[in-house]
Amino acid sequence: MKELDIEIIKSFSAWVGKTNQKVVILPHVNPDGDAVGSALGLSRVLKNSGVQVEVISANGYPSFYNWIEGHEQVTLFSKNPKKVQQLLVESDLLICLDFNHLSRTGDLRPLVESYSKNSILIDHHPYPEDFTDVQISHPECSSTAELVYHVLKASGLDQHLDREAASALFCGIMTDTGSFDYNVSDPQTFQTVGELLKFDIDQDYIHGEVFDNYSVDRMRLLGYCLNECMEVFPEYHAAVMYLSKETQKKFNFAPGDSEGFVNYPLSIKGIHFSTLFSEKDGMVKASFRSKGEFAVNGFASENFNGGGHRNAAGGEVSASLAETLDKYRKLLPVYQEKLVKTKSK
Ligand code: 5GP
Ligand code: MN
């Protein structure tokens, strides 16, 4: 990872260190393990240091993150918009975590856009939009949770780290690297994990809570999708899975049930570009994953109003599932050259 900019860390320290400071932490909409882990890990450390902190979110997150200390104190805009508005009005500092575009704030966008106090972004996605006073943007970092750890260390706040905060940050690194499978070529990531493990965190428990927590319906949904709702295009090294509303109903779909599904087609020999389309109300949510050089963030931003990392991106379109699949199938020949010449490592 690149060195942290010391001037930026100084302004971060100065802002969070002010007495009677009220800090609000905001992860991206539909928070994933890195967003929730970073937000709750950072809030725990700041609380331990005596700062008043609130975590807000545009909407909820999967229940398999409910073991993280402090999760019950997150105020959801989808459930309690007035409270969220009040927390923002009363706050002195907004810390945006694990996103770098206003489009990732969901229904909170107008409130974030009009926020008039100091704001900081801590994030690891490429191409940040300039909407905060200060940006701590490190796309070369495995996860926002790892970046939060480096920021805490550089600002001396790591003295307030404890087992609960370390567990939350570990969860963020673990989920954003697919259990230390990808984005882990920088030795610093493992060094960070090693330092977090010194807090006596229970990594077996954390892994079990997040990954070995399927309901029977969810496991059968995975089997059904792999069997009935996957198309493979060996000539393009690509595969797509899709999840219609009908299928979701059939398996009593709960938020988070399709988390990780998009990775499965990458286990097919020769496939290095995987897509999952999930039908929502009036739109389709897309998830893209790749191995090697095929840049799915480009594919997402060029065709599906999205973005993300080179090997993990997402987007959405206002179209039916059938139209979206049709669009996808027509795009494969357009990207043929890039898909075919790209070798997965
Ligand atoms: P997922 O497929 O797990 O939802 O998201 C994978 C990656 O793509 C994450 O890094 C996430 O931030 C990014 N991403 C997901 N959906 C969107 C989207 O709608 N817009 C943008 N810009 N990025 C997204
Ligand atoms: Mn992340």
Q: Are residues 77 and 183 in the same domain?
A: yes
Q: Is residue 1 part of a domain?
A: no
| Least confident interval from 3-17, 59-73, 91-105, 217-231 | 3-17
Last residue of a domain, one of 188, 211, 234: 211
Q: In testing the pocket of ligand 1, which one of 61, 101, 104 has its CB within 8 Å of the most ligand atoms?
A: 104
Q: Is residue 300 part of a domain?
A: yes
Of the ligands numbered here, which is closest to the C-alpha atom of 100?
1
Domain of 243, in residue numbers: 217-344
Q: Are residues 104 and 146 in the same domain?
A: yes
Quote the ligand 1 centre to 311 CA distance (angstroms). 11
Last residue of a domain, one of 190, 211, 232: 211
Render pLDDT for 161-190 as a digit per residue (tens, 0 to 9): 999 999 999 999 999 999 999 899 999 999
Percent of the chain past pLDDT 70, that is, above it, reads 99
Calculate mean pLDDT across residues 38-49: 97
344 has a pLDDT exceeding 60: no
Quote the ligand 1 centre to 20 CA distance (angstroms). 35
Q: What CATH number is associated with residue 21?
A: 3.90.1640.10
- The per-residue pLDDT for 19 is 77
Q: Characterize 102-134 residue by residue with b for buried, 16 or more Cβ atoms within 10 angstroms of its Cβ, and e for exposed.
A: eebbeebeebbeebeebbbbbbbbeebeebbeb
Render pLDDT for 57-100 as a digit per residue (tens, 0 to 9): 999 999 999 999 999 999 999 999 999 999 999 999 999 999 99
**Domain count for the chain:** 2
Render pLDDT for 256-285 as a digit per residue (tens, 0 to 9): 999 999 999 999 999 999 999 999 998 999
Q: Are residues 221 and 336 in the same domain?
A: yes
- The per-residue pLDDT for 45 is 98
Question: Looking at ligand 1, which atom is closest to the CA of residue 32?
Answer: 3
Q: Characterize 220-249 residue by residue with b for buried, 16 or more Cβ atoms within 10 angstroms of its Cβ, and e for exposed.
A: ebbeebeeebbebbeebbbbbbbbbeebbe
CB-based neighbours (< 5 A) of ligand 2, an ion: 34, 98, 144, 176
Q: Are residues 185 and 304 in the same domain?
A: no
Q: Are residues 229 and 323 in the same domain?
A: yes
Stated pTM of the model: 0.94
Q: Are residues 302 and 164 in the same domain?
A: no
Which residue's CA lies nearest to atom 23 of ligand 1? 307
345 has a pLDDT exceeding 70: no
Q: Are residues 150 and 103 in the same domain?
A: yes
Ligand 1 close to Cβ of residue 307 (< 6 A)? yes
295 has a pLDDT exceeding 90: yes
